[in-house]
Amino acid sequence: MKIGIVGGTGDIGEGMARRFSSKHEVILGSRDAEKAVSTSTCIIDHLKGRGQASHCTGVSNQEAVDRAEMVVLALPFAHLEGTLAGLSGFDGKIVVSPVNPMVKKEIFTTVPPAEGSAALLVQRMLPKARVVTAFNTISHNRWKDLDRAIDVAVPVASDDAGAKAFVMGFVNSIPDLKAYDAGPLEVSCMIESLTPLLINIARYNKMHDVGIKFV
């Protein structure tokens, strides 16, 4: 599968590319295509050092969208609207949002947009895209550390049943990850609010990279 990562040179995007590119073609996007090329080269070298091949290419964000079958928006919420406003070509494509609208004050807290969640904002801006909420609660350290299993639950939400099933299948193809159907896109606000909660729990309990499981 061809996976385009918009904002792929950030920590989350780079970590996802490390995990995905040994089995899928990853098209790593960035506002700065040269930075994307450099990051993709580092990923290829990193996996080569582990005896694995990496199918990763660095390009512009627009080219990542154009070439992808599934697009992941690995963006900070503050850059989400501005980045999407400058891109096109999402119609009919599965667009995965792991974006969490949050801010750090004395604690980390959710600050959703007027739409109610980052995912609903994405759906408003990309009305013909098949938007799916997923991967919101996985830290960049867990993505990047290939020696450590990501043994956590992944709530998945969408109004498109086919897109949701596709993404859940993809999640379950990643060793130790488990997808759970969380319902329609309307519940994305609940999923997105889990991340600041997890960060606060980690902070107050002297833990690192806290995730969730359902038992």
- State the pLDDT at residue 209: 93
Look at residue 214 and tell me if it is in a domain: no
For 91, list phi and psi in degrees, rounded to 5.
-55, 125
By DSSP bridging, strand 25-30 and strand 178-183 are unpaired
Other Cβ atoms closer than 10 A to 131? 28
Q: What's the pLDDT tens digit per position in 176-198?
A: 999 999 999 999 999 999 999 99
For position 160, which CATH number holds? 3.40.50.720
Look at residue 105 and tell me if it is in a domain: yes
Domain that holds residue 25: 2-204
Contact 44, 35 (CB under 8 A): no
Confidence label for 121 from pLDDT (cuts 50, 70 and 90)? very high
Confidence label for 134 from pLDDT (cuts 50, 70 and 90)? very high
Look at residue 210 and tell me if it is in a domain: no
Look at residue 131 and tell me if it is in a domain: yes
Confidence label for 166 from pLDDT (cuts 50, 70 and 90)? very high
Other Cβ atoms closer than 10 A to 204? 9
Close Cβ partners of 51 (under 8 Å, ≥ 6 residues apart): none
Q: What is the spatial distance between Cα 87 and Cα 82, in angstroms, rounded to a whole number?
A: 9
Enter the pTM of the model: 0.96
Look at residue 215 and tell me if it is in a domain: no
Confidence label for 94 from pLDDT (cuts 50, 70 and 90)? very high
pLDDT for residue 42 is more than 90: yes
Look at residue 212 and tell me if it is in a domain: no
pLDDT for residue 204 is more than 90: yes
Average pLDDT over residues 147-157: 95
By DSSP bridging, strand 130-133 and strand 153-158 are antiparallel
Look at residue 128 and tell me if it is in a domain: yes
- State the pLDDT at residue 105: 87
Number of structural domains (the chain) is: 1
Q: What's the pLDDT tens digit per position in 65-90?
A: 999 999 999 999 999 999 999 999 99
